[in-house]
Amino acid sequence: MPLLIRNGEIVTPDQRYIADIFCENETITRIGKNLDAPPGSEIIDAAGKFVFPGFIDPHTHIYLPFMGTFAKDDYTTASEAALVGGTTTIIEMICPSRADEPLQAFELWKSRAQGKSACDFTFHMGVTRYDAAAEAQLREIVKAGVASFKIFLAYKGAFGIDDDELWHTLKLAKSLGVITTAHCENASAIAQRQAELLAAGKTEPSYHHESRPPRIEAEGTHHLMTFAEMHDAHVYVVHLSCEEALQAALAARLRGVHVWVETLIQYLLIDKTWAEREEGFEGAKYVMSPPLRDKKNQKILWDGLASGLISTLATDHAPFDFATQKSMGKGDFTKIPNGIPAIEDRVNLYYTHGVATGRISLHQFVDTASTQAAKLFGLFPRKGTIAPGSDADLVVYDPKYKGKLSVKTQRQNVDYNAFEGWEITGRPAAVTVRGQVAVRDGKFVGDHQRGRFLKREATHF
């Protein structure tokens, strides 16, 4: 069914104007004033509301075997949560074990999404070992439309790769035009710090931060920069949390390294004191890696987003139940499954605490939560903008809405909300996936057969 969105204020990174948008055959076909629509078209009155390009979360975990358990969401629940929050494209991390074959992992992760996701999706391919067999399979995966790798410089003995593997992964990525996303912490330093803390009887969630302080993240970032510089490779630092790591990335950028930086909504709004809550093991809800940091880092990250030094805002969505999964770490913080659920709330929290407070402009909001991810990961201009020929992924956003976040009303399949009781200003009034309405006034009305795997071309040569 054709769709006409009337009288909305269209916002992209470089434009802001009132117009109508006509969508047909899954794409935007016309933009202008007083557009006509054929009989039978669906019409949405967007007067008094913003119209944004569909938001992109460039860092999520939906299917995730981790620390002896599995993340709670599947694509049915995660895609609903994403769409209700205005995110129309998910980029998920494929995280095989070192024993898994890359091609089998790729097919497994894809099978978890196909026919179950109400929004479009694609992947970063995890490289958790490097040998001749893995290299051949990685080449096939890139041919199949995955234009980005994911590597871990943490999680020694699990997802983490050694320096020989890092060298060859970046060399391969450069030759294929693939951008490599990287978790930057020093695995050996973390392992030693964890052992020391546990031996001293320091087992509570608060010691998670002490086992991987900012300097360890900065060292991991510097380490990646050195290897990227040797290959002239293009790299993307995921979930950067602190000033020290940002300085390491920016120093490399100044000397010509092709590096982009991502941060998370969690790091902007909550700090390490949340993971230090002792009553009822409450701090475990906020254990993630890198950890939540000292509050002083928040302004630095906000300023980085506003200035363009930080390119994207993501979630690293990783939902683990507090009662039955986070509790695995009672008596040993190293056994707490890492992650915070946020895929549903990222956009509304970012608008509330960024745009509504004047920390970032509407243009920066769209750029960092949608457009930059599309450009970096081979989706632009199909995604990330509002233009004729682009996919009709649109968010009609009501800036006057007032509400509260709660586990009682969320779609995320997890037993807590990290931002329980927080007030929000603004939410999507309507969300479309390639021209089909998936959300109306906060309610999911979409189709779980709608989401498609997005093939991408490698462009980072």
pLDDT on residue 286: 98
Strand blocks (E) in 346-454: 394-404, 423-433, 436-440, 443-444
Residue 376 DSSP symbol = H
pLDDT on residue 20: 98
Strand 234-237, strand 258-264: pairing:
parallel
Residue 116 in domain: yes
Residue 322 DSSP symbol = T
**Model confidence pLDDT, tens digit, residues 8-45:** 999 999 999 999 999 999 999 999 999 999 999 999 99
Instruction: Give 27's strand partners.
Output: 24, 391
Distance CA 122, CA 377 (A): 10
Strand 42-45, strand 394-404: pairing:
unpaired
Q: According to DSSP H, which parts of 394-451 are helical? A: none
Distance CA 365, CA 244 (A): 24
Residue 22 in domain: no
Q: Is residue 209 within 8 Å of residue 291, measured between CB atoms?
A: yes
pLDDT on residue 383: 98
Using pLDDT thresholds of 50, 70 and 90, give the confidence band for residue 158: confident
Residue 445 in domain: no
Distance CA 240, CA 217 (A): 8
CB atoms within 10 A of CB 34: 8
Mean pLDDT of 178-198: 97
pLDDT on residue 405: 98
Residue 244 in domain: yes
pLDDT on residue 156: 86
Residue 351 DSSP symbol = I
Q: Which domain holds residue 240?
A: 54-376
Using pLDDT thresholds of 50, 70 and 90, give the confidence band for residue 261: very high
pLDDT above 70: percentage of residues in the chain: 100
Does pLDDT of 67 surpass 90? no
**Model confidence pLDDT, tens digit, residues 335-372:** 999 999 999 999 999 999 999 999 999 999 999 999 99
Q: Is residue 236 within 8 Å of residue 175, measured between CB atoms?
A: no
Residue 243 in domain: yes
pLDDT on residue 157: 82
pLDDT on residue 211: 98
Mean pLDDT (the chain) is 97
Distance CA 384, CA 371 (A): 4
End-to-end CA gap in the chain:
40
**Model confidence pLDDT, tens digit, residues 73-120:** 999 999 999 999 999 999 999 999 999 999 999 999 999 999 999 999
**Model confidence pLDDT, tens digit, residues 302-320:** 999 999 999 999 999 999 9
**Model confidence pLDDT, tens digit, residues 407-431:** 999 999 999 999 999 999 999 999 9
Closest by Cα among 238, 147, 223, 239 to 460: 147
Exposure letters 282-300 (e unless 16+ CB within 10 A, then b): bbbbbbbbbbbbeeebbeb
CB atoms within 10 A of CB 180: 26
| Domain count for the chain | 1
CATH number of the domain residue 143 falls in:
3.20.20.140
Is the dihedral angle over the CA atoms 266, 272, 275, 278 positive or is it negative? Answer: negative
